[in-house]
Amino acid sequence: MKKIAIDVMGGDFGSGPILAGVVQALKKQKFEAILVGDEYQIKTKIPKRFHQYISVVHTTDVIDMSSNATDALKRKQSSIYKAVELVKSGEASAVVSAGHSGATMSLATLRLGRLQGVSRPAIATFMPSLNGNYTLVLDVGANVDSKSDNLFQFALMGEAYAKDILGVQSPKVGLLSNGEEKSKGNEVTKEAHELLKELPTFIGNVEGGDIFHSDVDVVVCDGFVGNILLKTSEGVASSIRKILKDQIKKSPISMVGATLLRRVFSNLKKRIDYAEYGGAPLLGVKGCTIVSHGKSNAKAIKNAIFQAIEYTDSDINEDIIASLKK
């Protein structure tokens, strides 16, 4: 049975949603959940009938959002440290954490180590595209000041993820830039374009708005840019939601209208809600690390666990190594 290490303590809302997500996942699929965190909370919040599928690694320290990522290596009693160590020692095949993402990335990179040939691991996230699928965007925050060969590697890793996990047979890979012409871009992007044009799956530069169209599967960018892209997108979506809500409240007619549109709004939410796909895989490190949103609800954790299982069922790490060798 697949063994997944789960950091129970790191999320913004404590252990509640994490453990509820574990239970949701166990209801759908059998696996062994190695729960790392406060034993009392775990034992009381996981219903007895699931106890046969869990094991507990008790911890007392938590790296919270205000901590410094650089401290992560020293705080060996923290839930995230211990969860990563389970993958390193082979006791688990993947780790899922909704905790401090910088700490998770550092620990995964330094304790698990990079895959052969990888210069810098990258975090990949999923943006909803208009055909109902997702576009994979990487890097969204593991690296700043990426070099062109880093971007080239991100493309290969994203391509492997799209093929092996998302089941896209020949994924279209785009390079994020400020214009579609190859002459557009900052220095690094222009250099990366030159490297990427050798890649058969490369379709050229894409702009910010193209991410949501269905004609690109993998979008490559520097982590600084990717982080801003990701947070801006979340900001726009949540602002629109807020403006709609405020406007609707202003009149009884609107409230009736909104009631009739409940299904539409819920479908919209489903399409743009990160809880639907789970977390963000850290590509380029040994084993499997899924970085979940700090505000993950139970559904997001459930889906992150499924992602981790799919990842470890696939040959993605071997394929990344093989693809980088070429």
Judged by the rule CB under 8 A, the positions of this chain that interact with a second copy are: 128, 130, 141, 144-145, 176-179, 185-187, 189, 207-212, 221-225, 227-240, 242-244, 247-248, 251, 253-254, 256-261, 263-264, 267-268, 271-272
| Token pair listed for 308 | 């981790």
Phi, psi of 28 (to 5 degrees): -100, -30
User: 3-class DSSP state for residue 285?
Assistant: strand
Query: Of 296 and 312, which CB lies nearer to a second copy in the complex structure?
Result: 296
Query: Of 168 and 258, which CB lies nearer to a second copy in the complex structure?
Result: 258
CB of 155 to a second copy, least distance (A): 17
The 10 Å CB-count burial string (b at 16+, else e) for 177-196 is: beeeebeebeebbbbbbebb
CB of 73 to a second copy, least distance (A): 17
Query: Of 25 and 230, which CB lies nearer to a second copy in the complex structure?
Result: 230
CB of 112 to a second copy, least distance (A): 23
CB of 6 to a second copy, least distance (A): 25
Distance CA 229, CA 171 (A): 21
Query: Of 44 and 254, which CB lies nearer to a second copy in the complex structure?
Result: 254
Query: Of 108 and 206, which CB lies nearer to a second copy in the complex structure?
Result: 206
Query: Of 47 and 257, which CB lies nearer to a second copy in the complex structure?
Result: 257
Distance CA 14, CA 154 (A): 32
CB of 131 to a second copy, least distance (A): 11
Angle ∠(168,202,150) on CA atoms, nearest 5: 100
Distance CA 262, CA 220 (A): 36
Angle ∠(11,314,175) on CA atoms, nearest 5: 75
Q: Which helix (H) or strand (E) holds 173?
A: strand 173-176
CB of 115 to a second copy, least distance (A): 24
Query: Of 100 and 286, which CB lies nearer to a second copy in the complex structure?
Result: 100
Distance CA 22, CA 9 (A): 13
Query: Of 47 and 235, which CB lies nearer to a second copy in the complex structure?
Result: 235
CB of 64 to a second copy, least distance (A): 14
Other CB atoms closer than 10 Å to residue 263's CB: what's the count? 8
CB of 243 to a second copy, least distance (A): 5
